[in-house]
Amino acid sequence: EVQLVESGGGLVQPGGSLRLSCAASGFTFSSYWMSWVRQAPGKGLEWVANIKQDGSEKYYVDSVKGRFTISRDNAKNSLYLQMNSLRAEDTAVYYCARRDYPLDYWGQGTLVTVSS
């Protein structure tokens, strides 16, 4: 059974940093692109970033470019999102998802709240 479990969310002040993790199991992690998608409270879905199987290609939505970094550790079956210079508008539930397109399995999400 495919499982994706996010962790690392929480309350952080504007300008702060946070690192999200996504633990994958039930499939060959190193064979798949992986993605992050976020959802602000009461709002729709926004694609954030994705990363190729070997980490050699990474893509970001413009609003996070230069502030967020996606990475992966295939030996640990884990996906990461390093978020720096956080803003109030980054407040959202962050989901990790399998594949680039379409997103066929999703984790349960982790809430990031950016507030003073």
C-alpha span between 58 and 7 (Å, rounded): 21
> Which of helix, strand or coil describes residue 51?
strand
Q: For another protein, give the closer residue by CB, 81 or 103.
A: 103
Determine if 33 is a binding residue for another protein (CB under 8 A).
Answer: no
Determine if 108 is a binding residue for another protein (CB under 8 A).
Answer: yes
Which x/- pattern, by CB under 8 A, does the window 36-65 give for another protein?
-x------xxxx-----------x-xx---
Residue 23 near residue 4, CB atoms below 8 Å: yes
C-alpha span between 16 and 57 (Å, rounded): 26
Q: What residues make contact with another protein under the rule CB under 8 A?
A: 37, 44-47, 59, 61-62, 95, 100-109
